[in-house]
Structure 1
Amino acid sequence: MVRWAAGLAGLFLLAGCAQSTAPLAPFQLTVAHINDHHSNLLPHEATQLRVGEQSYEVETGGFARVVAQLQALRQQHEHVLTLHAGDAITGTLFYTVFNGAADADLMNEVCFDAFALGNHEFDNGDKGLREFLNHLSMSDSCRTEVLAANVKPEVGVSPLAQKTRWDYFQPYTIFSVGGERIGLIGLDIAVKTKNSSQPDATTLFADELTTARYYINALQQQGIGKIGLLTHIQYKNDLRLAAELPAVDFIIGGDSHTLLGDFDAYGLASDGPYPTKVLNRDGDLVCIAQAWQYSQVVGELQLRFAGDRVQSCGGQPHLLVSENAPQEIQQLPLVTAIAPDADAATLLESYEAELSTLTQTQIAVVEQRLCMERMGPMQVEDCGLGRQSDAHAVVAKAFLASAPQADFALQNGGGVRTELSAGPLTIADAYQLLPFANTLVEIQITGAEVKQVLEQALAYALSESGSDGAYPHGAGIRFDVDLGAEQGERFSQLQVLTDDGWQVMADDRTYTMVTNSFLASGSDGWHLLAELKREGKVQDTYVNYAQSFVDWARKTKLIKRPEAHSTQRFKAPQQ
């Protein structure tokens, strides 16, 4: 059984608190964990797994299976902490429609011991996060400690801090497990949350390393020798913090959607061993774990302590598959076939039943028909003869609004699938407009590289085996196009919108571009983006691109025909 000890109260006792000497008795702790489920509550029906030369399509994950597996681990082991390392929300219709209620209810079926705030918890501002945390705290039978040591909402201003900074979350908590006290500190990724999500302007995010040092010292002053971090700061930063901090024993992380464990043979790319073992600043063992993404993996970290030091660690990630999966799959190491928890499945079914009705909810009004043309000017009078695609223009505008630090947005012609009719716009309309499983990504790209990738896209669009779906549409960027020019010379007059108005795009300046994950992989002829991705210049926001449009439409309320388009002048061959 897990018990909570006072967290903040200990801060007032730092000066005179005597240190206790922990006995050098062995203690076994199991940490069961997930991260980055992003409102992915349903199973993934066709995950590709490989056994030797044979490939299988297998149903994986789903939150009802997560519940079942976490409950199974609690039954199998005596001393268990159950943790969620952040980004519970945003990513599917379950969040778009239910604003976190569905996620909170399913999380309460687990009743996590602790949950760390991630950057996407702030996607709808401090008020949106407050609503989600209110849902999470509504259960009479469950108490989940919410942790975020480096998040600083302004007291009296932020909805999260009407009375104190710690109204809705704590910097750390202390668990009593099997007679042992275990301190756990929560950290959110600071710069990314401030720049790529939507926290209130007055909410600040302190440096992760400095914050961790401060609260490790606070825990040590209270005699706590077993210390973990529950982080949402990316795997590479977990490795860095582990090496630079004293006294840390384990880190449960998130944000980078890292798959650890030997899954390469199954066709899934792994990023390191599970757990990853490094040494902290004291030279003692630190065990680091993360559990991939989207309710598909549950991590089982086994820690063996000798006194307050980790003597050894092991465990495994459990890739959850259907109990009806082929035996060849069920017998694989690291794969766990498990039936969904019955109560969680029933709860999820009730939310599913509501979706078909609630997706018809009006989110905005389209003032007049917004037509779609993949490449080139409109040919229909009602759409405005000679205009570029209005549907693509508003989509790009929505993308740019979702990434406030981005300089401009680009979207391919094939990524938008329908026009928008005049009249009420519903959530279902938005997901028909943008029906693919794409997310928004941010790319660091020079002006010269922008021109290069635009030329690549158009060359592909004009090629015999290509598609006009590669043609670029944007917001915050504009250009002229001459289809009759030589390849490499078809785009000219590239400009970027700044606070000082339109400025010529500089070849040697680095810009932040927001686009979709499909293009970021180099698809549709946008080959350079794949190279930039390999160079580490692409950052996935994990925001579903349709949800970004829904969020923008809700705020916009009345969607008007755009006054301008990214293509300023379009010259056809022999024109």
Structure 2
Amino acid sequence: MKHILVAGALALALSGCASQQPEAPFTLTLAHINDTHSHFDPSDAALTLDGRQVYTRLGGFPRLLSYANTLREQAQLADQPLLFVHGGDAWQGTGYFKLNQGAMNADLLSRLGLDAMVPGQHEFDLDSARLAAFIEGVNFPVLAANLNARKDPALNAAGNLYPYVLYAFDGNDKERLESMEDADSDPVVAVIGLVPEDLSEQAANPGRLAFNHEVETAQRTVNALRAQGVKHIVALTHLGLERDQRLASRVNGIDLIVGGRSETLMGDFASLGLGKNPPYAQQVTNPDGRAKTCVVQAGHFAQAMGRVSVTFTPDGRVSRCEGGNTLLTDGVFYNDIRRGKQHRLSEAEQQRLNQAVAADARMAVVAEDAELRRHIDTQYRPALNAAYGEVIGHVPATLTHQGLPGQDGSASDLGPLVAASQLYWANTPEVRAVTGRRADIALVGASAIRTPLEPGALRQGNVTLELLPYSTPLSLVSLTGRQLAGLLLETINASLADNQAAGAFPYMAGLRYRFDETRKGAGFLRMIEVRQGRQWVKLDSNASYNVVINGYHASGNDGWNSLYQLQRVLTDRIDLARVKGRLTAFPVARLSQTRRGAIRVHYINQALRCRAGGVQCNTDAEAFMDYVRERRPLLTPLADSGITLNRL
């Protein structure tokens, strides 16, 4: 990692640069984005406009580039300084990242004309070698003052990773400086990068990196910059709004914090249906009680761009900070997320809504940059379409997922839907012809579901590559009511006792229960009922029920231990997979465990080998896709999850 900090005598020698700064007030404008998460194409979004809910498309990189170019042109005409920065978490989020990982991000981010970026926690999802390749592949500096890469060979050698960067301005003309030795009388702006100090606990692949204290690093860096004569300091962070505010209240000398991570669309967007969020350009008093730091952030998914203008007094303090976030729409409106011809509003309605947008500073109709659109469509979209396949349905609003329902009433939208899909599929004529059984109940372990679903078109690949990516066969096994109750108690208690085990939490279809926690991490089932036709009846302890479960949990993995114990000697379980396109049943004889604890499935006849040619094991994903196509093409949460969880 390169260190530009100049110490000791050199800093003192250069401190005279401060006297060379112009006495006239200096105004700096920053355009900023954060948490774009590979949303290179526009996102479908529901907005409230003209008193009604309508659907439009927001953002995407070609639209970001068009708007950034407009801001650049305005700054050039006014001969005003402008920087364009990214607050981190460019990675993950869409099929584009699944297919291209960091390479497409490096390509498209470089085409935006950024001046700096701070890495977010998701930039550490792959190994450090791939992150280093990304950093070396972009045409702007990547900043992280509190990242210590000395023990990481890949990132330590990255020549484009810095603690901060310096820009000198002569009106709109901008020059990047290696150090203050190169400065003359023009105003100089330092942009510092800060990542979370606890990133090693949150990042998927922190490698051998160390992360230093945010506040201490920030103050030490600011002090060194001030000693060199830098009057104007911007912190580009990926800490989240709350920690940005804390940073501003504990560090003297930061003029502006441009943040990311909490994905806060700062400003009042309630009348548009997007909530009343903290005000844009908040000013937080520094610990010295004199200076203030301005704090901004710009939402997520490349849907909006922030623009903030900061005016400084001659001695370098912030005298004014103002601006706002602007949602970037394509200006085309529908009354349904499916956006069919029949859903498009009339031309008169389109015109009226576009007039409303034009009168609202929170929105702008922006055309996509044609060249960047063409580049995405020719270089990247064909592979995405091939991998992700046809549209199977539409998601009007985000469908969430969490392992354990929260004490605040929050719960998974997707857990009950996945369970419902499995119960539906297991009872279709094709499946029943193979199994010879009717399924009564479906159970889903929370860990089987990997992502939420965002608004917009739902493609096959969103299910097979993201939502249910493990290519897991569905299993049908009979359990008595007593065994079912024991399994529920085992998995619920494990999830409550240790949040790390929340992946074991059971979601279900065809069954409902009430669980009362009686002491921390433990409780009892007050009620369990099974659906029979249109009625709910009490679970019969002695009755046998056919239960659909994915093969991983059906074998007792992820804390579903009782299922392993029940199948050690004998089981009537059937695993379901496709062989050369034909649905095939694989009867299971028993389960065993290796010396290392791995669970083995012993089949009666032919073994199910999911990696063999012509074998498709992802019947869990197939079930969900069929359910969406045939029963819920407009995918919304179920009215009742069947779960009543009374916590202490």
TM norm. shorter chain > 0.5: yes
Tell whether 2:385 aligns with 1:356.
yes
- Equivalent pair of 1:94/1:100 in contact (CA under 8 Å): no
Within-5 A mapping of 1:270-309: 270-282=276-288, 283-307=290-314, 308-309=316-317
Q: For 1:50, which of 48, 51, 75 is the aligned residue? A: 48
Within-5 A mapping of 1:434-453: 446-447=496-497
CA gap 1:382/1:134 in 2 versus in 1, 3 angstroms: farther
Q: Which residue of 2 aligns with 1:180?
A: 187
The amino acid of 2:279's aligned partner reads P
Q: For 2:100, which of 78, 98, 101 is the aligned residue? A: 98
- Equivalent pair of 2:441/2:548 in contact (CA under 8 Å): no
CA gap 1:98/1:306 in 2 versus in 1, 3 angstroms: same
Alignment partners' CA distance in 2, 1:296 and 1:42:
10
Alignment partners' CA distance in 1, 2:284 and 2:33:
21
Tell whether 2:532 aligns with 1:524.
no
Q: How many residues align?
A: 441
Q: Which residue of 2 aligns with 1:80?
A: 82
The amino acid of 1:174's aligned partner reads L
Q: Which residue of 1 aligns with 2:512?
A: 459
- Equivalent pair of 1:65/1:340 in contact (CA under 8 Å): yes
Q: Which residue of 1 aligns with 2:135?
A: 133
Q: For 1:338, which of 366, 373, 379 is the aligned residue? A: 366
Alignment partners' CA distance in 1, 2:443 and 2:133:
32
Alignment partners' CA distance in 1, 2:143 and 2:504:
44
- Equivalent pair of 1:259/1:270 in contact (CA under 8 Å): no
Tell whether 2:392 aligns with 1:396.
no
CA gap 1:391/1:215 in 2 versus in 1, 3 angstroms: farther
CA gap 1:187/1:383 in 2 versus in 1, 3 angstroms: farther
Once the two structures are superposed, residues 491-545 of structure 1 have per-residue CA deviations (whole angstroms, 9 ceiling, x without a partner) of xxxxxxxxx999xxxxxxxxxxxxxxx999998355769x99xxxxxxxxxxxxx
Q: Which residue of 2 aligns with 1:430?
A: 465
Report the TM-score, using the length of structure 2 for normalisation. 0.59
- Equivalent pair of 2:439/2:547 in contact (CA under 8 Å): no
CA gap 1:374/1:219 in 2 versus in 1, 3 angstroms: same
CA RMSD of aligned residues (A): 4.6
- Equivalent pair of 1:160/1:168 in contact (CA under 8 Å): no
CA drift at 1:111: 1.4
Q: For 2:162, which of 138, 162, 170 is the aligned residue? A: 170
CA gap 1:145/1:432 in 2 versus in 1, 3 angstroms: closer
- Equivalent pair of 1:258/1:270 in contact (CA under 8 Å): no
Q: Which residue of 1 aligns with 2:269?
A: 263
Q: For 1:320, which of 328, 332, 345 is the aligned residue? A: 328
CA gap 1:49/1:427 in 2 versus in 1, 3 angstroms: closer
Alignment partners' CA distance in 1, 2:108 and 2:505:
43
Q: For 1:189, which of 196, 213, 222 is the aligned residue? A: 196
CA drift at 1:386: 13
What SS does the corresponding residue of 2:70 show, helix, strand or coil? Answer: helix
CA gap 1:253/1:519 in 2 versus in 1, 3 angstroms: farther
- Equivalent pair of 1:97/1:359 in contact (CA under 8 Å): no
Q: For 2:58, which of 60, 67, 70 is the aligned residue? A: 60
Larger Rg: 2
Moved more, 24-33 or 470-479: 470-479
What SS does the corresponding residue of 1:256 show, helix, strand or coil? Answer: coil
Report the TM-score, using the length of structure 1 for normalisation. 0.66
Alignment partners' CA distance in 1, 2:639 and 2:23:
55
The amino acid of 1:354's aligned partner reads A
CA drift at 1:174: 1.0
Alignment partners' CA distance in 2, 1:185 and 1:90:
24
CA gap 1:292/1:447 in 2 versus in 1, 3 angstroms: same
The amino acid of 1:290's aligned partner reads Q
What SS does the corresponding residue of 2:46 show, helix, strand or coil? Answer: strand
Alignment partners' CA distance in 2, 1:23 and 1:356:
55
Alignment partners' CA distance in 2, 1:74 and 1:240:
32
Q: Which residue of 1 aligns with 2:36?
A: 37
CA drift at 1:109: 1.7
Moved more, 227-236 or 203-212: 203-212
The amino acid of 1:195's aligned partner reads E
Q: Which residue of 2 aligns with 1:565?
A: none
Moved more, 122-131 or 247-256: 122-131
The amino acid of 2:385's aligned partner reads S
CA drift at 1:151: 1.3
- Equivalent pair of 2:58/2:303 in contact (CA under 8 Å): yes
Q: Which residue of 2 aligns with 1:496?
A: none
CA gap 1:197/1:470 in 2 versus in 1, 3 angstroms: farther
Tell whether 2:217 aligns with 1:211.
yes
CA drift at 1:396: 3.1
Alignment partners' CA distance in 2, 1:270 and 1:299:
16
Alignment partners' CA distance in 2, 1:469 and 1:180:
70
Alignment partners' CA distance in 2, 1:298 and 1:85:
11
* Greater relative contact order structure (CA < 8 Å, 6+ sep): 1
What SS does the corresponding residue of 1:10 show, helix, strand or coil? Answer: coil
CA gap 1:385/1:465 in 2 versus in 1, 3 angstroms: closer
What SS does the corresponding residue of 2:65 show, helix, strand or coil? Answer: helix
Q: Which residue of 2 aligns with 1:160?
A: 155
What SS does the corresponding residue of 1:217 show, helix, strand or coil? Answer: helix
What SS does the corresponding residue of 1:37 show, helix, strand or coil? Answer: coil
Alignment partners' CA distance in 1, 2:153 and 2:375:
32
The amino acid of 1:478's aligned partner reads W
- Equivalent pair of 1:173/1:185 in contact (CA under 8 Å): yes
CA drift at 1:128: 2.0
Alignment partners' CA distance in 1, 2:434 and 2:153:
47
CA drift at 1:375: 6.6
CA gap 1:451/1:526 in 2 versus in 1, 3 angstroms: farther
Alignment partners' CA distance in 1, 2:308 and 2:263:
17
Alignment partners' CA distance in 1, 2:643 and 2:193:
39
Moved more, 117-126 or 279-288: 279-288
The amino acid of 1:476's aligned partner reads D
Alignment partners' CA distance in 2, 1:107 and 1:188:
19
Q: Which residue of 2 aligns with 1:237?
A: 243
Within-5 A mapping of 1:553-572: none
Q: Which residue of 2 aligns with 1:570?
A: none
Alignment partners' CA distance in 2, 1:80 and 1:41:
24
Alignment partners' CA distance in 1, 2:210 and 2:112:
31
CA gap 1:199/1:190 in 2 versus in 1, 3 angstroms: farther
CA gap 1:386/1:333 in 2 versus in 1, 3 angstroms: same
- Equivalent pair of 1:453/1:527 in contact (CA under 8 Å): no
Unpaired stretches in structure 1, ≥5 consecutive residues: 1-5, 137-142, 361-370, 403-409, 411-416, 419-425, 436-443, 482-499, 503-517, 533-575
Q: Which residue of 2 aligns with 1:18?
A: 15
Alignment partners' CA distance in 2, 1:462 and 1:346:
54
Alignment partners' CA distance in 2, 1:277 and 1:269:
21
CA drift at 1:270: 3.5
- Equivalent pair of 1:258/1:271 in contact (CA under 8 Å): yes
